[in-house]
Amino acid sequence: MTAASQGNATNLSTRSWTFDFILLAAIWGSSFLFMRLGAVEFGALPTAALRVAIATVFLLPLLWRRGLGPQLRQHWKPLFVVGLLNSAIPFACFSFALLSITTGLSAILNATVPLFGAVIAWLWLKDRPTASRILGLAIGFTGVALLAWDKASFKPDASGVAPGWAVLACLLATVCYGAAANATKRYLGGVPALVTATGSQVGATLVLALPALWFWPDHRPSVQAWMSLAAVGVLCTGVAYILYFRLIEQAGPARALAVTFVVPVFAVFYGVVFLGEAVTSWMVLCGVVIVCGTALSTGLLRLGRRAR
């Protein structure tokens, strides 16, 4: 193969994963909007349960069609735990938080997932970070503290939920995401991505089924609320998982992880356009600090260059 043909192949490959990257960020950015629209009428736990149940219904036929059912049964225990940490708890936390804080703020807090993932990898898997990554952790957590301090009130607002509790719920969700990523790496290495995605949704559905029925709303939710949950289940969970794992294969885990930094841009845009949410300069400033710190802590951004 000539140098020109190799260059063309590389460009085509880059354009391919770049499209998936942007599409995935746009889809995950919309999940905060759809969860907000659903949670207002269904409540937090039914919203989270319907999201994973719809995703399960979407993913299971794909799994059986590819003949991966035996692997799902073989790894059901770690898949159940990952479903709890990666879907059940985080989706419930974000649905609760979105009742009182904006979609943009929750998406910015969600960008700390790699930050907590790096800390958990350090403490649990003994993946000791370099000096620049430790600096990134410090910068990232400073950004989180500044952003959380601005919403530190624990007095209920008009929604009946205190913003401080909503922020803590988002941070609990991101800690769970970080733990799930490390658990997946340790216990589900080599398991097909579709098996992990489907099994985790099945596990999350089982965990949330009874609590959702207990807290099911007395009124009849609107068609808009049902459509929002259908969108977040099929598009933002089922389709998004497929895109995410394909992105890992094409561009590598580091670039796939970076999608977390772009998601808030879309989430803020959707919130402003469709919900009329306000974006403050303080939110933007803290968001930049968090993203820079997270990029350093995960090694996506490095200080200085090595000599060649």
Enumerate the domain spans of the chain. 15-297
What integer is the mean pLDDT of 55-84? 95
Q: How confident is the model at residue 199 (pLDDT cuts 50, 70, 90)?
A: very high
Asked whether the predicted pLDDT for residue 266 surpasses 50, the reply is yes
CA-based radius of gyration for the chain: 19
- Tokens 């700390």 sit on residue: 112
Angle between helices 240-251 and 3-42 (to 10 degrees): 150
Write out the DSSP string of 83-116.
HIIIIIHHHHHHHHHTTTS-HHHHHHHHTTHHHH
Is residue 113 within 8 A of residue 264, CB to CB? The reply is: no
Structure tokens at 62: 């794909």
252 or 30: which leads in pLDDT: 30
Average of per-residue pLDDT values in the chain: 85
What is the model's pLDDT at position 169? 95
Asked whether the predicted pLDDT for residue 301 surpasses 90, the reply is no
**Residue % of the chain over a pLDDT of 70:** 87
- Give the Cα-Cα-Cα angle 266, 302, 145 (nearest 5 degrees): 55
Residue type, 293: G
Asked whether the predicted pLDDT for residue 227 surpasses 70, the reply is yes
Is residue 289 within 8 A of residue 111, CB to CB? The reply is: no
What integer is the mean pLDDT of 44-51? 97
Residue 23 to residues 45, 240, 266, 281, 306: CA-CA distances in angstroms?
28, 9, 10, 26, 33
Q: What is the pLDDT of residues 209-221, one digit of tens each?
A: 999 999 999 999 9
What is the model's pLDDT at position 242? 80
Q: How confident is the model at residue 5 (pLDDT cuts 50, 70, 90)?
A: very low
Query: Which helix (H) or strand (E) is 290 found in, with range?
Result: helix 281-297
What integer is the mean pLDDT of 177-183? 87
Structure tokens at 44: 């937090």
Is residue 186 within 8 A of residue 92, CB to CB? The reply is: no
